[in-house]
Chains A and B, each alone.
Chain A
Amino acid sequence: MASKKYDLVIRGGRVIDPALGFGRDACVLVKEGRIAAIEAETAAVKKMLRSFDENQIVDAAGKLVVPGLIDIHVHLREPGNEGAETIYTGCRAAAAGGFTSICCMPNTNPRIDSQETVRFIQDRAKGCDARVYVAGAITKNIEGQELAEIGDLVKMGAVAITDDGHYVQNPEIMRRALQYARMFNIPVAQHAEDNFLCEGGVMNESPESARLGMKGRPAVGEEIAINRDLALCRLTESRLHIQHVSTRRGVEAIRWAKKQGIRVTAEACPHHFVLTDDEIGKRFDTNLKVNPPIRTREDCAALIEGLVDGTIDCIASDHAPHSIESKDSEFDQAPSGMIGLETTLALVKTYLIDKGYLNWADAIRKMTISPARIFGLPGGTLEVGAPADIAIIDPEKKWTVKAENFRSRSRNSAFIGWKLSGKAAVTILGGRVVYSA
């Protein structure tokens, strides 16, 4: 006899929902793909659960039950580079990492600068293991010259605009983008690295780049880019989102701006607060090549400080798949970027929670409700009536990152071989189990 009142129950786990300020043991009840109730497992509830079929019960004993994680910085590579990732495989990777909503970046081929491409992605994402939101381009073909048809993109469902991978170098264009985006109440997300200072650089400019003789991407390139945009954001009273902050002075600029009331938000990526540039010379691992580059210990510490004090609002992966073939090359010839959907949660657990910087509620906030609010996405909470997007986390699960276990089509992780703690055990999307470890 199956329960008719509910479709699914997640019992035995500790439910953490920062949006609700909720954090205790409870059952999460799901009906018709939505959260129906969160109840303590009282005698009455226990009795009710007896009417559930075995396949209606997810046992979360010893685990954390949290809103499905949200990653607002993901490259899905489709259309155009399906050898590296597809929308289908990217969503499978997301599910394995505990993510139920992701926002894909527009630097596909063709770029996401027209309604047709937005619609194509939405069609391809139907039935996949995660909800896919779309960030449209700021400028036509991401060339930084003329505004894309932003109104059209928003009408089609784009939740933000960005030329990610490229800084909008022309301040006049960026000013107009911020002004224009304000009409639609969407944020302008910026990859903040000044082209003139950073172009051609393959790693952080530092004693390490001096030692190796590699062309550096200086931290000041990010500092200048962020500060310019903060000034433009203040002028336009628009919403600016700084993607993948990587430098100490970048964090400081954003902290200052927030105090001034400038409407800026920021994200940090695990590779930027975990990895340092002295790793590069050891094996010239092209998986360590990423833009902005991995920096220094001091920068990592500043990013963590920014995450702790709220200067940095959310954690994103900047999941950037590249084929094995393209990464198996000379360091300076390799494309930039690394995958992250399947390691982000564990890196947050191992390097932020276990080290005492964030507690689980803070960390989950930065991976759920906080990014949801920045990009205006539904979800990120377990409140009654919300879509039943749920991540069940095995908080102390020890595991080793292995290339062959990635669900992403690509393998370009700098963390292969690393021993990490914490892993998604079950991921539920709209009441449907899409991943089970």
Chain B
Amino acid sequence: MSRLSSRHLLGLEDVPKEDITMILDAAETFREVLDREIKKLPTLRGITVLNLFYEPSTRTRISFELAEKRLSADTINFTKATSSVTKGESLRDTVQNIEAMKLDMCVVRHASVGVPYYLTQCMDANIINAGDGTHEHPTQALLDMFTIRKIYGKIEGLRVVLLGDVMHSRVIRSNIWGLKTMGASVALCAPSTLIPHGVEVFGCDVYTHLDEALDGADVVNIMRIQLERQKAGLFPSQREYTNLFGINQARLKRLNKNYTIMHPGPMNRGVEVTSDVADSERSVILDQVTNGQAVRMAVLYLLSGRKEEQE
């Protein structure tokens, strides 16, 4: 059986095309399972998975937990607020103590960039990044790509616009790497103050005018705009953001006929996207959520049982 080239999923930047394809193919199988009456497989029986969530999360945490349960894994949920972290325990001590209770895999969400890598240096478990600061969120990008591939039958050659806070979005970063690896053409669009210095490192087309970015695009993936960025002085008001960068029906005319609207959530309706667009038949926002489970099942399945000595 072919295998992924790494025993961890830390980000998509260095993940080769073969690996992404393998994950998306495996996810197809699991996606079918989700439509069955009995949505459970014995695949990960005996495997213990820690969901280590240092940051609040609804969608991703539940999605991972359900994915684990549907694969018959034993799951432990860690949340920062109810843990000894509040007593001053370090991250290394926290995970090593939990690992001492014997676990196999760790799904981690943390506000600090690089924590998934750091955990590979602290523990033996397979590490899956569920979002590290403003760095990467690889399973979100994988589910976005899975959703795109399901609609168009391919990713290569499509024009995808990643719209929103490029500077702070881990979803955008992971999408950039994944989509480029799979051969899509990627456009970034944001207010100039939310485009990081050094953006050329991504090798994408960069737009500060929404209409230009949308011209001839197939997919628009809309990111949540966070109010605290306005407080930090990065844009003047939510109102102006909506005027300049909000997606509404009128703007969609620029897109290719067969366009798709995506959003990783949580959504600010009426801010970055109007409700009529978000709820339209071209929107696949809820499909993304369903597909997310299948993709996470695939990642868990493909990484499980991969030990250090196999590398």
Contacts and interface: CB of A to CB of B under 8 A. Distances in A.
B235 interface: no
A211 interface: yes
Contacts of A208: 198, 201
A330 B173 CA distance: 20
Interface stretch (A13-21, A212-220, A223-231): A212-220
9 closest residue pairs by CB, A with B: A284-B114, A213-B134, A207-B198, A207-B201, A330-B112, A210-B198, A210-B196, A213-B135, A331-B114
B114 A209 contact: no
Given A209-B197, A211-B13, A328-B92, 16 more contacts: A207-B201, A210-B167, A210-B196, A213-B113, A213-B133, A213-B134, A213-B135, A213-B168, A213-B173, A214-B113, A214-B135, A218-B197, A281-B114, A283-B117, A331-B114, A333-B112
A436 interface: no
30 contacts: A205-B196, A205-B198, A206-B197, A207-B200, A208-B201, A209-B197, A210-B202, A211-B198, A211-B201, A212-B113, A212-B135, A213-B113, A213-B134, A213-B170, A213-B173, A214-B134, A216-B196, A281-B114, A283-B117, A325-B90, A328-B92, A329-B90, A329-B91, A329-B92, A330-B112, A330-B114, A330-B118, A331-B114, A332-B133, A333-B112
Nearest to A218: B197
Given A210-B202, A213-B134, A218-B197, A328 B113 contact: no
Interface residues of B, number: 26
Interface of B: 13, 90-92, 110, 112-115, 117-118, 133-136, 167-168, 170, 173, 196-202
Nearest to A285: B114
Contacts of A330: 91, 110, 112, 114-115, 118
Q: How large is the interface on A (under 10, 10 to 19, 20 to 34, 35 or more residues)?
A: 20 to 34
A205 B199 CA distance: 11
Contacts of B92: 328-329
B198 A328 contact: no
Interface of A: 205-214, 216, 218, 281, 283-284, 325, 328-333
Contacts of B196: 205, 209-210, 216
Nearest to B134: A213
A394 to B, nearest CB: 35
Most buried by A among B168, B198, B200: B198
Contacts of A207: 198-201
Contacts of B133: 213-214, 332
Contacts of A205: 196-198
Contacts of B136: 213
Contacts of B110: 330
B114 to A, nearest CB: 3
B201 A284 contact: no
B202 A211 contact: yes
Contact of A284 (B118, B168, B198): B118
Contacts of B201: 207-208, 210-211
Pick the most buried of A205, A208, A332: most chain B CB atoms within 10 A of its CB: A332
Contacts of A213: 113, 133-136, 168, 170, 173
Contacts of B135: 212-214
Contacts of A328: 90, 92
Contacts of B13: 211
A283 B113 CA distance: 11
A214 B90 CA distance: 21
A216 B173 CA distance: 16
A331 B197 contact: no
Nearest to B177: A211
Contacts of B200: 207
A206 B198 contact: yes
A214 B115 CA distance: 12
Contacts of B197: 205-206, 209-210, 216, 218
